[in-house]
Structure 1
C-alpha cells in the first residue's frame, strides 16, 4: 500500500485494550505508511496522554470499550479540538451511545479499506 495510501506519513494514535487486536491494527496501519502512536489500553492513561501530547498525533483509532470503560471522554476531547478519530468495536452500531452515532465506526474484524478511508484527511 505504502506511497499511494491516504495514511502515508500520518501519525495515528491507537487506543485499544486487547493486545492481539492492537498488534494487528498497528501492523495494518504501519503497512499503510503511517506511524503508530501507542497503543494505549486504558481509559485514564489515554486521556492523560492526549491532554499532554496533543501535537504527537494527527488522528486516532478508539476502541469503544476499554476494560469496561467507554472511551467517550477521549472522543469528546478529540472532537473539541477537531482531531479526526474512528471508533472501533466488536459489536454492532448499538454498542455506541446514540450521542456518538454520527462519528465514523469500524467493526472488528477490520476491513482495512474502510478503516483507512475513515482516517484519511478530508474524509467525510
Structure 2
C-alpha cells in the first residue's frame, strides 16, 4: 500500500495548512489520530473536553472547530453558539458511524481517514461552501 503524501496540494486536507483548529471530541483516541494527521497537514491543533472548550474559544487563536455531536447534554450546542457568535466556522462530527447525525448538523465522520478529514476541510475552508 502506498503511503499517502500529505504534501500533495491536491488533497483537500491541505486546506488545514496554517490553520488553528479546535477539536472537541469525547473519544481521546479518535481526537488524537485526527490531531496527528491534521498536524502533518500543517494545522495547529487545540484539543479540549466539553467543560473547557467554551473558555478556549477566541477568534484571535481559533480559525475553525470540529465538534463531537455526542457531547454530554447540550454542551455541543453551547459551544456551537459561542463559535457562531465569533463567526468561527465549525462542523459537527462524530466518531460513531451509526450515530445518525442529521444533515443539518453536518453529518461528518471524524476519524483517521484522510478522505473524511478532507471532507471536513472542504466544509470549513473551501470558498465554494461560503
- Common topology (TM > 0.5): yes
- If asked which structure has higher relative contact order (CA below 8 Å, sep 6+), I would say 2
Question: Which of the residues 64, 84, 99 maps onto 2:69?
Answer: 64
Number of aligned residue pairs: give it: 113
Q: Provide Cα deviations, 1:9-66, integer angstroms capped at 9, x if missing partner.
A: 11111111211011111012112211112x112x22111221xx33111000111122
Unaligned runs of 5+ in 2: 1-5
Structure 1 unaligned spans of 5+: 95-100
Select 1:93's aligned residue among 90, 98, 101. 101
CA RMSD of aligned residues (A): 2.0
- The structure number with the bigger radius of gyration is 2
| Residue 118 (1) aligns with residue 123 (2) | yes
Output the TM-score relative to the length of structure 2: 0.74
Q: TM-score, normalised by structure 1?
A: 0.77
Structure 1 range deviating more: 85-94 or 104-113: 104-113
Query: What is the CA–CA distance in structure 1 between the aligned matches of 2:128 and 2:52, rounded to whole Å?
Result: 28
TM superposition shift of 1:108: 4.1
